[in-house]
Structure 1
Amino acid sequence: MAKKKISIKDIARELGISITTVSFILNGKAKEKRISDEMTKKVQNYIKEVGYTPSYLAQSLRLGKSKVIVFMIEDISNQFFASIARMIEERAYKNGYKIIYCSTENDTEKAKELINTFKIRNVDGFIITPTPGLEPTIQELLEEDLALVLFDRWVPSINCSYVIVENEKSAFEATLHLIQNGCKKIAFLTVDSDQMQMKDRLQGYQKAVAENNLSSSVFKIKFHNIDEKEAYLKIIEFFRNNQGFDGVFFATNYLAFEGLQALDNLGIKVPEEVKVVSFDDHYFFNLYKPKISAIEQPLEIIAEKLMEAILHHLDSNESKHSFKKFILPNKLNIRESSSN
């Protein structure tokens, strides 16, 4: 037979004191309520003896705080998101908070369901990489005065806190780097998405080629999981049907993985025949032969600013409508794939 779970009521009855007294001691309010050290120690010793564990849901309802932050991103297995998750976990713990991770897989309905589930569980705040069409749900969170920070991408129509990077400027500089290294026909391979970070990267590329009187060539690929083969086959087809490129800019690292494999299978040499740059640096790019030039996002600073922004909303009711907006610079790591 399963052992009966001990309640506050059981503790109070056993020790001959009120339920309120037990509750104050459990919630760290003994001194505030002038409960003696002797009584406090008596309750704490009994709790250890019987192995009592509090109901965190009930506790959060009493205190109005769960000390839990939801980190909702596109794919927790992605190295970029996983690295940020690890860094904010450390910072959250130091500030007395725990992190719950979840992946939306860029699915808006899934994102909505997850948000509703966590709201019921009384979490304190959300750090979210928004999916397409999530604007009404984000607006609802703000109207309900929940702590909210957008991450990696922003929504122009909504006034809220966010932490993003200089996507347009970095894409412009990377494209200009290819041009300065002799590229005259540069392909831009990106995700077919209305998300602002992808639109900004595309705009940066287009601005650079236009300012240098070159033609743009953009190939958009439907969002997909890394293990899906369809995107790789489409990239192979694109390179076969569009020969003569001397430069390729991949808008994300997972497109670069597929694109480099496609170039290799087609016998197109990097950098002799085509120079390559990718957004989102990855340790794999230093292992690849030749080493791949890539735009590195400032992971440590992103994590710091995410926690600064969410704690700004969590620590004071007055900060609910005072927003933190960070746009951080990236670094272009120039390696063998784009050099002469």
Structure 2
Amino acid sequence: MATIKDVAKLSGVSVSTVSIILNGQAKARKISEKTQKKVLEAIKELNYNPSVSARRLRSSDKEKYTVGVYWAIDFTTGFLARFIEGLQTELVKSKLPVSTVICPFENNRLENESGLKNMSTYNAVIIANTNIKDQEFLNENPLPIPAVLINRNSEKYHTIRIDNVKAGEIAANHIFRKGITDVGMVIQKNSFYGMQERGKSFYNFFQRKGFKIPDELIVSVKNSVLGGTEAGEYFFRKGRIPRAVFVDSDVMAQGLIHFFNKNGVNVPEDCEVISVGIGPSEISKYFMPSITVVDMPLEKMASECIKLISEILEHNIDEKKHILLDTELVIRESSPLL
């Protein structure tokens, strides 16, 4: 059985660094996203599962509940960093008797996670970023412990999700109000459910207005800065730079804008860029030019998770609760107001 020392050795960091990341304190201790990702990948490779019983022995008597936070390992660490920050902020603020354990999982393999199948590992779980196969597993195999699903629809579990349809419409309406109808899209390969909803909503908005976005202006790339750069290269190869581009993550938007800047395409004068805000807001705010985003309320989502789980555990709630959160349009330089 793998130990925390094995994780530290494989990821090339200290045991204390691994412990800080597992306890959701990475941002507070200024541990880089790159280091966090290495540790999470090592945890998954070694199938390391922190000993909850040991954590309880080390913790204070006030920590009555332990909650597992299951997170798809191939999803952006920026999303995870914001979510964990929200969890920790709410726990400190409310002084709730809850501790959390980060549990990375590989998409299509959620059914292999033993911590979901018994009542002795966790008191409750938060499950984020499931794909279609993992969602089918959850729907067909009710878990023995309370579970809250993040950004997913399900009548069998408690859910907290973002209004992804509205998010796509907000981005589309911002562009359309300026009279811009020559629009492209950059979406993630093998995208998650929420991304698919936002992309379809953006696309359908323009179609309802009588403007179909051409297939040649929709590019699918990896959700990374490099992926965004490849999207820029794609538009150049096509010889077709749209007047505005909707990008479904700020990480990809950074790569796209970087490529445009290096190749003589001025943002926003030649091409406006509007993105979904998933990573830390400082990145989009201080990029050159700063990036207009439809910001995902990840900290609010995390806060609502803790409140809901506390209510479930303290009051034995059976009726499933479903919380829907709005998004906010943050105007910056890459796509300014009229």
Q: Do both share a fold (TM > 0.5)? A: yes
The answer to whether the 8 Å contact 2:65/2:123 transfers is: yes
Partner residue, 1:241: 238
Partner residue, 2:161: 164
Residue 190 (structure 1) aligned to one of 187, 203, 224: 187
Q: Give the AA of the match of 2:243.
A: D
Q: Relative to structure 1, is the Cα distance of residues 249 and 55 closer, same or farther in structure 2, using a 3 angstrom cutoff?
A: closer
SS in 1 for 2:142: helix
SS in 2 for 1:175: helix
Superposed CA RMSD: 3.1
Partner residue, 1:137: 137
Q: Relative to structure 1, is the Cα distance of residues 131 and 238 closer, same or farther in structure 2, using a 3 angstrom cutoff?
A: farther
The 1-side partners of 2:175 and 2:304 are apart by 31
Shift of 1:131: 2.3
The 1-side partners of 2:86 and 2:56 are apart by 29
Tell whether 2:174 aligns with 1:173: no
Q: Give the AA of the match of 1:232.
A: T
Tell whether 2:155 aligns with 1:154: no
Partner residue, 1:100: 101
1:11-36 deviations in Å (ceiling 9; x for gaps): xxxxxxxxxxxxxxxxxxxxxxxxxx
SS in 2 for 1:323: coil
Residue 68 (structure 1) aligned to one of 66, 69, 79: 66
The answer to whether the 8 Å contact 1:148/1:160 transfers is: yes
Tell whether 2:197 aligns with 1:200: yes
After superposing the two structures, state which structure 1 stretch, 273-282 or 325-334, moved more. 273-282
After superposing the two structures, state which structure 1 stretch, 196-205 or 233-242, moved more. 233-242
Tell whether 2:83 aligns with 1:84: yes
Shift of 1:328: 0.6
Residue 337 (structure 1) aligned to one of 331, 334, 338: 334
The answer to whether the 8 Å contact 1:112/1:134 transfers is: yes
The 2-side partners of 1:167 and 1:254 are apart by 18
SS in 2 for 1:215: coil
Partner residue, 1:41: none
Shift of 1:304: 2.2
Shift of 1:178: 1.1
Normalization by structure 2: what TM-score? 0.71
The answer to whether the 8 Å contact 1:271/1:338 transfers is: yes
SS in 2 for 1:108: coil
The percentage of aligned residue pairs carrying the same residue is 18
Q: Give the AA of the match of 1:67.
A: Y
The 2-side partners of 1:141 and 1:310 are apart by 20
Query: Any stretches of 5+ residues in structure 2 without a counterpart?
Result: 1-51, 58-62
Q: Relative to structure 1, is the Cα distance of residues 180 and 58 closer, same or farther in structure 2, using a 3 angstrom cutoff?
A: closer
SS in 1 for 2:266: coil
Q: Relative to structure 1, is the Cα distance of residues 273 and 97 closer, same or farther in structure 2, using a 3 angstrom cutoff?
A: same
The answer to whether the 8 Å contact 1:185/1:215 transfers is: no
The 2-side partners of 1:58 and 1:285 are apart by 39
Partner residue, 2:249: 252
The answer to whether the 8 Å contact 1:66/1:124 transfers is: no
The 1-side partners of 2:274 and 2:55 are apart by 48
Q: Relative to structure 1, is the Cα distance of residues 57 and 205 closer, same or farther in structure 2, using a 3 angstrom cutoff?
A: closer
Q: Give the AA of the match of 2:323.
A: F
Q: How many residues align?
A: 274
Shift of 1:269: 0.7
